[in-house]
Amino acid sequence: MTCDTPSARPHTGNGLVFPHGFLWGAATAAYQVEGAVAEDGRTPSIWDTFSRTPGKVRNGDTGDTAVDHYHRMPEDVALMAGLGLGAYRFSVSWPRVQPTGRGPAVQKGLDFYRRLTDELLDKGIQPVVTLYHWDLPQHLEDAGGWPERATAQRFAEYAGIVAGALGDRVKLWTTLNEPWCSAFLGYGSGVHAPGRTEPAATLRAAHHLNLAHGLGVQALRAALPSSARTSVSLNLHHVRPLTDDPQDLDAARRIDAIANRVFTGPMLRGAYPEDLQADTAHVDDWSFVRDGDLAQIHQPLDALGVNYYSPTLVSASGSGTDTGADGHGASDHSPWTGADDVAFHRTPGRTTAMGWTIDPGGLEELLLRVHADFPGLPLYITENGAAFDDYVNPEGEVRDPERIEYLRGHLAAAHRAIGAGVDLRGYFQWSLLDNFEWAYGYGKRFGAVYVDYATQTRIPKASAHWYSRVARSGIVPLEG
């Protein structure tokens, strides 16, 4: 999994040349693709409960079947191999492995991930495991969920179980995917499971997710060989002020604190930012942070995953905002604890089917900032991609030139960042397959591979073939 510190080579007549050993992959999440929600001992997760609650997910869609990856896994791995992918980033379903979030594992659940890992390795594809991608066992939510300290302790036990089953074959591990969404969309705005709208609970949830990460890293290191690498994937918001007015600059600072530094502070510096605590003091006194917690959270990491889709544009309150302009769905309740009066604005430019502005420059700027803030920490782009209104044409093809241009632009931005000294080791397209897109149901298609949900037929899109050529050659063509 390791490679030497990359350095970008100048583009040739064929395109932008990425470093030797750069990892080209795609990613998915268990609840979005697996289906089989009641098979082999799996019990409901918070997303099973949430998606079955009327009005929470568009069209009443659920992940009950999703794209049936649980049964079609060998076919999907063969697809990856046919596309020349070097790595597959997948998440493990906690309630499939440990149905109540405590106690011994269900071996049938672990066996699925053992088979998946073996299939990948047999095809020359590196498995990259994410332990938590939002599917908390409902049993643990019933006991209080992430706002409860015990959930972090349960996560560490679960991490040890999965590491014991797959540690001899998986070299790169991710503890959490986008804990911001779990804490602030799940317990603040309520647009994600479990759908709670409790500002104080967001801060407690964020802290216990941080603690789960630290305890999880320790559990992984106790079970894994020394060659294994640990990481976390954060959806770091690239926040821009609307103007240079001091009030707008302060609005950007406040959003940066509650979106980014609430995790990077304790995880990578060993402390919560003082301005974050001051901004949120009226919500909670932070007494949930106990002696020794920050040392537990601040574990050395081998890499950091960066998820990026679009920048965030903000101004001080009173200057107007667009509903849903923060990119995280409309709600009467704010996810921005302590900064709920900040105004969000649509960034100018072309947008995806999600309404998110296409801005590759934001990715470059974000990578440069992370590199400057945490020099020496290798980075992976663990999610980047776009939803468009894809369809099968009369020839049976899915042509998606907009996605090809999106990928080309963002990979060019990544190449520029490498040229500027960023230690970027790999890129994972979101996502491998069209799938259940959380509260949007099946209405948004992010996949490299088109899925006909009625028949489960898979059709690689034109962008998948384009990305396949990039993955095989390590060269991003400048055109075509």
Q: Is 178 a catalytic residue?
A: yes
User: For the packed helices 107-122 and 149-166, what is the interaxial angle rounded to 10 degrees?
Assistant: 50
DSSP 5: P
Strands 312-315 and 304-307, how do they pair? unpaired
Angle among Cα 346, 350, 352 to the nearest 5 degrees reads 85
DSSP class of residue 271 equals: S
Decide if 132 contacts 177 (C-beta within 8 A).
yes
**Closest to 347 measured CA to CA, from 311, 379, 374:** 311
DSSP 206: H
Q: Using CB atoms within 10 A of its CB, is residue 394 exposed (0-12), middle (13-18) or buried (19+)?
A: exposed
Which tokens belong to 41?
């001992």
Q: Return all residues near 230 (Cβ < 8 A) that are at least 6 apart.
A: 173, 174, 175, 217, 220, 221, 299, 301, 302, 303
Residue 157 is a catalytic residue: no
Buried-exposed string 379-390: b where 16+ CB fall within 10 A, e elsewhere: bbbbbbbbbbeb
Sequence-ordered list of residues with C-beta below 8 angstroms from that of 393, at least 6 positions apart, any chain? 399
Q: DSSP assignment, residue 189?
A: I
How far from 381 is each of 125, 179, 426, 465, 479, CA to CA, in Å? 17, 16, 6, 20, 22
Report the alpha-carbon distance of residue 301 to residue 210 in Å, rounded.
Answer: 13
Q: State the catalytic residue, choosing from 34, 141, 148, 178.
A: 178
> Hunting for tokens 């990026």 — which residue is that?
308
Q: Which of 119, 141, 148, 383 is flagged as catalytic? A: 383
Tell me the one-letter amino acid at 352.
T
Which residues touch 381 (CB under 8 Å, ≥6 apart)?
305, 306, 307, 308, 363, 367, 414, 424, 426, 427, 428
For the stretch 79-93, what's the b/e string if a residue is b when 16 or more beta carbons lie within 10 angstroms of its beta carbon?
bbbebbbbbbbbbbb
- List the structure tokens of 252: 């950007």
DSSP string, 141-183: HHTT-TTSHHHHHHHHHHHHHHHHHHTTT--EEEEEE-HHIII
**Separation CA 425–CA 89 (nearest Å):** 14
What are the catalytic residues? 178, 383
